[in-house]
Amino acid sequence: MTLRIASAEIVSILFMLIILGSLRNKAEGDEKEHKVFLVFTLCTTLGLFFDATSYILDNIQAGSLILVVANIMAFSIIHLCIVLFATYMVMIIRHTKDISFRIIYPIWIFTVLNILWIISGVCNGQFFSVKDHRLVYGPWRDIITVMPIIGVIYILLILLINLRNLGRRNTLVLGSFVVFPLLAALILLFFPQLELAYLATALSCAVIFTYIRREEITVANLREQIMTEISSKDTLTGLLNRRGFNEAVKLSEGHESLGIVFCDLNALKHVNDNLGHEAGDEYIRRFADILRNVYKDMGSICRISGDEFVVLLYDILRDKFDELNGELNSAIMKNDRIASVGYAYGNDRSAMELFTIAEQEMYNNKNLYYIETGIDRRRNGQLSIAE
């Protein structure tokens, strides 16, 4: 039975080494709790190693000193694991609550006293001794075995007190460090040879690591989504920029019908030169709002250059397309002919084909604008930007 436990612990060590390798890369320059969890995982791995070693060397013709050291380390490191986990838990709680590390001082004190008691028990033979290459436990063994359970119960109390701050998910994940060791202790009561404390701790470590990785993946996906959105959005207007336009063109593939609206602001240079670039920015934002109000969430609205805007409308009926364009023309006239516009609509035609048609119509509309207003296109005339 002891060799089976040792074999299970050796397998656990291999998994813990994989976790350690992953945590080591993550912990560099990262939050302090990740580094504490790294040390906690390292101690659990060492504890598994020494515990497996004591099982393997028991009743084998080997150096008694190695067996003694391995057993002392196995019983001592479990206390360090409890302290490190308590520290890690408080760090997690501190994300949402101002809690002092003094709450785990009793665990630190208890740990130091327990380790000293272990060493003392070995020296006076009350804990264990080695006879004929076998470990022979004394009267202190049961007490020393129960001591870590007291620390785990104290951690359980801290978890319950801070349940609201931790939230259900964090409580369940951190609670694995309480549940698994307590189950191991319960098994030990009925089967004294099945000391599964380190296997339980390793299982808890794996659960927490899985949760950490899941959170990291979620954060990474969210960060990527935000960066993609930022990189495809125009900072001035909040519309799609040139990159967003290119993505919108790709999105248009496969749609049966497509409407393109190509817009070019009138007299933006005059506004910038005579009223300042802040006024020019406001001029651009005003037209962006006009496009948003007319087309709302019906397609992709893009600002592809300083004064050029394109709207792509997917699977829109021709009557609806003409209706919206009439609303845009009306809004443009109410805003001092703020822009010249070209429209193109087609079935089973590419976005770039329609884009070229709309662009040419926009230029025709621009020429008509200069003729009707009598504005010198080289000087852009005098234009009001009143709301």
- Torsion-angle region of residue 117: left (phi > 0), alpha (psi -120 to 50) or beta? alpha
Residue 192 in any domain: the answer is yes
Please provide the average confidence, as pLDDT, over all residues in the chain: 85
More confident call, 188 vs 319: 319
pLDDT above 60 (res 382): no
Q: What average pLDDT does range 27-38 have in this prediction?
A: 72
Residue 234 in any domain: the answer is no
**Domain CATH code at residue 178:** 1.20.1070
Q: What is the pLDDT of residues 292-301, one digit of tens each?
A: 999 987 889 9
Residue 270 has a pLDDT of 84
pLDDT above 70 (res 305): yes
pLDDT above 60 (res 379): no
Q: Are residues 175 and 276 in the same domain?
A: no
Residue 168 has a pLDDT of 76
Coil, helix or strand at residue 261: strand
User: Among the ranges 177-186, 251-260, 378-387, which has the highest mean pLDDT value?
Assistant: 251-260
Residue 386 in any domain: the answer is no
Residue 30 has a pLDDT of 52
Residue 225 in any domain: the answer is yes
Which CA distances in Å does 19 have to 1, 23, 219?
Answer: 27, 6, 19
- Side chain identity, residue 219: V
Residue 27 in any domain: the answer is yes
Residue 237 in any domain: the answer is no
Q: Are residues 219 and 247 in the same domain?
A: no
Q: Are residues 31 and 52 in the same domain?
A: yes
pLDDT above 50 (res 28): no
pLDDT above 70 (res 54): yes
Q: What is the pLDDT of residues 235-268, one digit of tens each?
A: 899 899 988 898 888 888 878 889 999 999 998 8
Residue 251 has a pLDDT of 83
Q: Based on C-alpha coordinates, what's the Rg of the chain?
A: 36
Residue 59 in any domain: the answer is yes
Which CA distances in Å does 62 have to 7, 54, 67, 102, 270?
Answer: 19, 11, 8, 44, 94
Q: Are residues 90 and 200 in the same domain?
A: yes
Residue 47 has a pLDDT of 92
**Domain CATH code at residue 269:** 3.30.70.270
Residue 226 has a pLDDT of 64
Which 8-state DSSP code applies to residue 29? T
Residue 85 has a pLDDT of 92
Q: What average pLDDT does range 3-16 have in this prediction?
A: 88
Q: Are residues 192 and 264 in the same domain?
A: no
The residue from 191, 208, 229 where one domain ends is: 229
Structure-token pair, residue 69: 């050291």
CB burial of 181-208 (b: ≥16 within 10 Å; e: otherwise) equals beebbeebeeeeeebbbbbbbbbbbbbb
Q: Are residues 220 and 273 in the same domain?
A: no
pLDDT above 80 (res 222): no
More confident call, 198 vs 31: 198
Q: Are residues 352 and 225 in the same domain?
A: no
Structural domain of residue 112, as residue ranges?
2-229
Residue 11 in any domain: the answer is yes
Q: Are residues 176 and 273 in the same domain?
A: no
The count of structural domains within the chain is: 2
pLDDT above 80 (res 368): yes
Which CA distances in Å does 224 have to 22, 34, 300?
Answer: 21, 22, 21
Q: What is the pLDDT of residues 59-108, one digit of tens each?
A: 675 567 888 888 899 889 999 999 999 999 999 898 888 889 999 999 99
CB burial of 51-72 (b: ≥16 within 10 Å; e: otherwise) equals bbbbbbbbeeeeeeeebbebbb
- 263 in Cβ contact with 362 (< 8 Å): yes
Where residue 385 falls among pLDDT bands split at 50, 70, 90? very low
Q: What is the pLDDT of residues 128-173, one digit of tens each?
A: 888 877 778 888 887 887 888 888 899 999 998 988 888 877 888 8
- 365 in Cβ contact with 340 (< 8 Å): yes
Centroid of chain to Cα 184: 33
Q: Are residues 214 and 250 in the same domain?
A: no
Structure-token pair, residue 16: 């813990």
The residue from 174, 197, 229 where one domain ends is: 229
Residue 384 has a pLDDT of 37
Residue 229 has a pLDDT of 61
The residue from 203, 229, 255 where one domain ends is: 229
Q: Are residues 147 and 207 in the same domain?
A: yes
Q: Are residues 67 and 194 in the same domain?
A: yes
Where residue 386 falls among pLDDT bands split at 50, 70, 90? very low
Q: Are residues 213 and 251 in the same domain?
A: no
Where residue 122 falls among pLDDT bands split at 50, 70, 90? confident
